[in-house]
Amino acid sequence: MRISFRWLAGGLLLALGCSGTAEAQSLSKADQAVFKPKYIKKQLLSATKWQLAHPKHKITDWTNGAFYSGVFAAYETTKSQLILDSLMAMGNRTQWQPDQRYDHADDIVICQTYLNLYRLKKDRRMIQPTLDVVEKFRTVPGKEVQNHGIAWWWCDALFMGPPVLVKLGLIENKPEYLTLSDTLYQQTYRRLFNHQQHLFSRDASYLWNAAGEGKKESNGQQIFWSRGNGWVMGGLVQVLQELRPNHPTRSFYLELFKEMSARLIQLQQPDGLWRSSLLDPAAYPGGEASGSGFDCYALAWGINQGILDKATYLPAVQKAWIGLNKCVSPEGRVGWVQPIGADPRRDFSAESWEVYGTGAFLLAGSEVIKLK
């Protein structure tokens, strides 16, 4: 399946109002400083250390799955032995196990980090529990399909599940895992992707019927959750960077990534961040760091890979990274993170932090530092 990307081609530069070069020249000295590699590495180390010192959830919880994905990216960027030691200590503490529900994508997201570490260390004990749970998931029907009709019934699952199946399939040379990921992803896409807004609904409870009836924001718009779509963007990066250029289904993910990227830069707010409700920014006026972090990560990756036009997208990434750094306290706490929830309707402030917000910030920095 291919998705049309032409619908936005004519208006993007006008919507942004400047080219990447013009934006770069207009940055203040203070803003230019946040793009210096030394500064970025310092921020990644500071945020990682602060978050590791302030644990909040069970290590194998989905929240930490997103966090440790960012921690691994911070290690790759900084080559910090302290970070690598922390990652290895985490795996040894969990005995490289996923969480309890074998068929729930939230409970295997921590396996992303196990697989990344396995590629460094080549120790089979790091990978065997992941292999066991994915094989069970592939062969044993579970409660998620029974209760919801599909396994990945909420859009966040597209960050949690597909990268694990794709990474494991490539590591173990098991194409059936990539096929399974494709099948489940398409089920979620067909159910939740809105072709008019070019965004994902969080789950089926946010879909409108043919008469336009359903959950609405205060301005009458349909609810499209920033962090949920950020999860999808982050997951697309994780999948695309694994698949070979000639992989038969890569074009689907690539076109979806382009389509969502084009829509998201239209919805970015002047401070560089996205609001928790993408189509009703006034309802929740504070910039939300976790969704914004994932978006910044994905857009920067797209530029770095030559997938997204630099002149069009660099201004958005620059504004996002500047805005994200204003959410980080001097001691390294990433604030302005919406609490756990399934939609935008949770209040937050500069004091609000969550481990996945830190993970998103670390992922963003790991790609921003590569911009040329």
Residue range 135-156, pLDDT digits in tens: 999 999 999 999 999 999 999 9
The DSSP letter of residue 223 is: P
CA distances from 323 to 29, 257, 268, 320 (A): 15, 23, 11, 5
Q: Is 156 a catalytic residue?
A: yes
Q: What is the pLDDT of residues 39-88, one digit of tens each?
A: 999 999 999 999 999 999 999 999 999 999 999 999 999 999 999 999 99
Arithmetic mean of pLDDT, 218-247: 97
SS3 (DSSP) at 210:
coil
Two structure tokens written together for 25: 């020249």
* Widest pairwise Cα distance in the chain: 57
Predicted pLDDT at 27: 87
Lowest-confidence pick of 18-27, 108-117, 202-211, 329-338? 18-27
Question: How many Å from the N-terminal Cα to the C-terminal Cα in the chain?
Answer: 33
Predicted pLDDT at 142: 94
> What span, in angstroms and rounded, lies between the C-alpha atoms of 104 and 157?
8
> What span, in angstroms and rounded, lies between the C-alpha atoms of 308 and 299?
8
State the catalytic residue, choosing from 106, 156, 280, 295: 156
Predicted pLDDT at 349: 84
Report percent pLDDT > 90 for the chain. Answer: 87
pLDDT of 204 over the 50 cut: yes
Beta bridge partners of 277: 225
212 by Cβ neighbours in 10 Å (0-12 / 13-18 / 19+) ranks as exposed
Angle between helices 310-325 and 355-368 (to 10 degrees): 140
> What span, in angstroms and rounded, lies between the C-alpha atoms of 193 and 265?
18
> What span, in angstroms and rounded, lies between the C-alpha atoms of 85 and 142?
35
| Closest to 69 in 3D by CA, of 330, 290, 347 | 290
Residue 228 CA, chain-centre distance (Å), reads: 9
Taking the complete model, does pTM exceed 0.85, yes or no?
yes
